[in-house]
Amino acid sequence: MFLPKLVTRRSSKLVYSFCRSVQHRKPIEIIPSQRQKPRFDSAQFEASIKPYAEDVTTENRYEKLCNMILPLANYSYDEQLNIKQGIVEQLFDQIGNAILWDKRIDSQVLKYVEFHEGHFCRVKPIVPSPLTERYRCKDDLSCGYDVDGQKTIGFYINPLNNKKFPNTLCISPIHLKSMKAKHILVVKHFDQFLKQHPLPVCANTNILKKDQYWRTMSLKSNEQGHLMMSVVVHPQSLSKVLWTEIDQIKKDLLNYFIDGPGRECEINSIYFLASAHNRSTSDRNPLELIHGEEFLYETYNGKKLRISPESLFQTNKQASEISFQTVFDHAQLDEHTVLLDIGSGIGIHSIMASPIAKKIYAIDPLKSCIEDGEFNAKLNGCRDNIEWICSYAEANLHRILKKIGDLHGDNSRLVAIINPSRYSLTNKTISIMRGLPSIQQLIYVLNKTDQQVMHNLYELAAGERSKLKEVGRPFIPTDIYPIDMLPHSTNVETIVKCIRV
């Protein structure tokens, strides 16, 4: 479906009057446009400071990287919050106007808007992050070549023109104020390890070339300072029978980080993976533990959770606890509620809901997340009311929802928590959700606001595509709760409360 052209807040009253007049055959009220202060355009701003490999020099490389990763780093924190508040308000002005503009607008939406005098998509004040520096508990880094041609570990800066400038540069992140001190120490040592190791690195993880080996290194840590490192290499032409060369690479890592200079990093776990694929599932090619403890443990909102090398969890621990509590508070669970936790991750929402809700269905496409969730539920003494469902294909989700709806009937109260960063929804799945009258409320957790997410919100509120097919009463976003999960960037996590109208 083509999303209608989005309009600005300046014209929202005119759009609302137009839609009302078309629906109820009333004359259009022409409301004069008012001059407003220009808003901060995050996309245009980031495009204006985005670095390209052609512009990067030895002198400006760290500044260029900071502009790319943390574009608001030169603003005061109060200014950052004001900018992010404006970004979220502008975004939901647009989606709200798109809902009202569409010719398929549902009459129930118009009645709700009329009763509330046009107020929906209400954006609440942004919640600041408890930590503004050294807050990242996970970092995913790439191996590559620096401006001076030396091997390093960091983030890629791509060229503007691949034909004229074919090199993708890799810049060390040790000067970024978001990285933890222990992560910086590991990065420095891994940089030295790569420089002294005989095998070359990959110049770009998306284009795997011959005779390029070292690919990526990921770090995870908890508040106690425990570290988990995962290293991925391309096996290339190394022995495929005995893999003696691969074994030597593992020994080289252990010799440096456990017995050599890197032991000052005090790494608790080292995982290793040799993979020739850009994307490898844990079932087909699992990470191998070559040193230390199998898992990390972290406490969120009073719940102790296990974290595995493939677990999906928030980058900012303190801010994520605010997010979890906000979701829990606005889900309004009771002993009669059936909760659908779609994109459950390591299970925090399901575990928090277990003492209260009647039944919980935790759905996630990653087997490792389901395994972590099941373990974490037992670890926290949860009731036997959580059913863990591993669903890889989007095609299966609508069948699961339909089965749950048939099982519990229209008399039960269903609440859905959706995390689309792990599980995007198709129109078919949205139709199933709208067709379950027992679902009265959705809580959308948006870690990013891409076109697919906006399309999902729009389809939840849109009218029927055909009079021959009923899709159920619509959901509209009523309250939006922004949380600053990544200070110094333009990213904002938003929790969107959608109600049935």
In the chain, what are the helix, strand and coil shares in percent, each to the nearest 5? 35, 25, 45
Which tens digits make up the pLDDT trace of 294-347? 999 999 999 999 999 988 788 999 999 999 999 999 999 999 899 999 889 899
DSSP state letters, 154-202: EEEE--S-TTT--PPEEE--TT-TTB-HHHHHHHHHHHHHHHHSSSPBP
Task: Give Cβ neighbours of residue 455 (< 8 Å, ≥ 6 apart).
Answer: 1, 3
Which tens digits make up the pLDDT trace of 258-268? 999 999 999 99
Q: Which domains does the chain have, with CATH numbers?
A: 95-130+315-500 (3.40.50.150), 138-300 (2.40.50.1070)
Q: Where is the binding site for S-adenosyl-L-methionine, in residues?
A: 314, 364, 419
Kindly state the tokens that stand for 87.
Answer: 């970004």
pLDDT number for residue 13: 45
Q: Which H or E element spans position 499?
A: strand 493-500
Query: Of the candidates 366, 322, 331, which has an alpha carbon nearest to the alpha carbon of residue 350?
Result: 331
Please give the Cα distance from 199 to 129 (Å, whole number).
41
Residue 392: CB atoms within 10 Å? 12
> Which pairs count as long-range contacts for 159-166, CB under 8 Å and 24+ apart, including other chains?
159/52, 159/53, 159/54, 160/52, 160/53, 160/54, 161/54, 164/54, 165/53, 165/54
Query: Which residues are paired to 232 by β-bridges?
Result: 216, 273
Which tens digits make up the pLDDT trace of 380-416? 999 999 999 987 656 667 777 777 777 776 667 889 9
Please give the Cα distance from 84 to 67 (Å, whole number).
17
Dihedral, 380, 386, 392, 396 alpha carbons, nearest 10: -170
Q: Where is the binding site, in residues?
A: 314, 364, 419
pLDDT number for residue 438: 83
Which tens digits make up the pLDDT trace of 97-144? 888 877 667 777 887 777 777 678 899 999 999 999 999 999 999 999
Give yes or no for a contact between 173 and 140, defined as CB atoms under 8 angstroms apart. no
Q: How far does the chain reach from its first CA to its final CA, in angstroms?
A: 23
Q: Which H or E element spans position 69?
A: helix 61-69
Q: How many residues does the chain have?
A: 501
pLDDT in tens, the chain (501 residues): 333 333 344 344 443 443 444 344 333 332 333 444 557 778 788 888 889 999 999 999 999 999 999 999 999 999 999 999 999 998 888 888 888 877 667 777 887 777 777 678 899 999 999 999 999 999 999 999 999 999 999 999 999 887 777 789 999 999 999 999 999 999 999 999 999 999 999 887 666 677 888 999 999 999 999 999 999 998 877 655 557 888 999 999 999 999 999 999 999 999 999 987 765 555 567 899 999 999 999 999 999 999 999 887 889 999 999 999 999 999 999 998 999 998 898 999 999 999 999 999 998 888 888 999 999 999 999 999 999 998 765 666 777 777 777 777 666 788 999 987 666 677 777 887 888 888 888 999 988 777 777 888 888 887 765 444 566 788 889 999 999 999 999 999 999 999 888
pLDDT number for residue 3: 36
